[in-house]
Amino acid sequence: MDHFDVDLFVIGAGSGGVRAARIAAGYGAKVKIAEEYRVGGTCVIRGCVPKKLFVYASRFAHEFEDAAGFGWNVEGVSFDWPTLVANKDKEIARLEGAYRANLERSGVEIIAQRAVIEGPHAVRLADGTRLTARTILIATGARPNLGLDFPGRELGITSNEAFHLESFPQRIIVQGAGYIALEFASLFAGLGAQVTVVHRGDKLLRGFDEDIRARMIDEMKQNGIGFELNATIDGIFAFESGKRVRLNDGRDLFADEVMLAIGRVPNTIGLGLDTVGVELNEAGAIAVDAASRTSVPSIYAVGDVTDRVNLTPVAIREGHAFADTVFGGKPWSVNYDVIPTAVFTEPEIGVVGLPEAEARAQGRRVDIYKTDFRPMKATLSGRVTRVFMKLVVDQADDRVLGVHLIGEGSAEIAQIAAIALNLSATKADFDRTMALHPSAAEELVTLRGKHASSDPLPEASTEVTPAL
Ligand X SMILES: Cc1cc2nc3c(=O)[nH]c(=O)nc-3n(C[C@H](O)[C@H](O)[C@H](O)COP(=O)(O)OP(=O)(O)OC[C@H]3O[C@@H](n4cnc5c(N)ncnc54)[C@H](O)[C@@H]3O)c2cc1C
Phi, psi of 173 (to 5 degrees): -105, 130
Residue 104, phi-psi category: left (phi > 0), alpha (psi -120 to 50), beta (remainder): alpha
Q: Which stretch binds ligand X (CB under 6 A): 5-13, 241-249, 279-287, 380-388?
A: 5-13
What residues from 200 to 219 belong to the interface with ligand X (CB under 6 A)?
Answer: none
Quick one: which of 186, 141, 154, 170 has its CA closest to 18?
141
In the residue annotation, 199 being an active-site residue is answered as no
Q: Write down the least CB distance from residue 300 to ligand X, Å.
A: 12
Any contact of residue 273 with ligand X (CB under 6 A)? no
For residue 259, give the DSSP letter: E
Q: Which stretch binds ligand X (CB under 6 A): 133-141, 200-208, 381-389, 428-436?
A: 133-141
Any contact of residue 66 with ligand X (CB under 6 A)? no
| Count of positions on this chain that bind ligand X (CB under 6 A) | 35
Q: Write down the least CB distance from residue 339 to ligand X, Å.
A: 9
Any contact of residue 180 with ligand X (CB under 6 A)? yes
For residue 30, give the DSSP letter: -
Any contact of residue 348 with ligand X (CB under 6 A)? no
Site string for ligand X, 215-254 (x = CB under 6 A): ----------------------------------------
Strands (E) located in 295-423: 299-301, 341-343, 349-353, 366-374, 387-394, 400-406
Any contact of residue 266 with ligand X (CB under 6 A)? no
Quick one: which of 93, 61, 96, 66 has its CA closest to 79?
61
Residue 452 burial (CB < 10 Å; 0-12/13-18/19+)? Answer: exposed
Any contact of residue 267 with ligand X (CB under 6 A)? yes
Round to whole Å and give the CA distance between 57 and 190: 8
Any contact of residue 56 with ligand X (CB under 6 A)? no
Any contact of residue 268 with ligand X (CB under 6 A)? no
Contact 62, 68 (CB under 8 A): no
Q: Write down the least CB distance from residue 188 to ligand X, Å.
A: 13
Strands (E) located in 1-146: 6-11, 31-34, 109-111, 115-119, 122-125, 130-138, 142-144
Any contact of residue 37 with ligand X (CB under 6 A)? yes
Quick one: which of 56, 17, 21 has its CA closest to 40?
17
Q: Write down the least CB distance from residue 40 to ligand X, Å.
A: 7
Axis-axis angle for helices 48-67, 179-190 (nearest 10): 40
Any contact of residue 47 with ligand X (CB under 6 A)? yes
CB environment 270-306: b (16+ within 10 A), e (fewer): ebbbeebebebeeeebbbbeeebbbebebbbbbbbbb
Any contact of residue 36 with ligand X (CB under 6 A)? yes
Q: Which stretch binds ligand X (CB under 6 A): 31-39, 237-245, 329-337, 364-372?
A: 31-39
Select which of 3, 320, 437, 451 is catalytic: 437
> Which CB atom, from 145 or from 446, has the smaller least distance to ligand X?
145
What residues from 427 to 466 belong to the interface with ligand X (CB under 6 A)?
Answer: none
Site string for ligand X, 298-317 (x = CB under 6 A): -----xxx----xxxx-x--
Phi, psi of 245 (to 5 degrees): -110, 125
Any contact of residue 286 with ligand X (CB under 6 A)? no
Query: Which one among 141, 156, 176, 355 touches ligand X, defined by CB under 6 A?
Result: 141
Helices (H), 382-450: 410-422, 427-431
Residues that bind ligand X (CB under 6 A): 11-17, 34-37, 41-43, 47-48, 51, 114-116, 139-141, 159, 180, 267, 271, 303-305, 310-313, 315
Q: Give catalytic residue positions.
A: 437
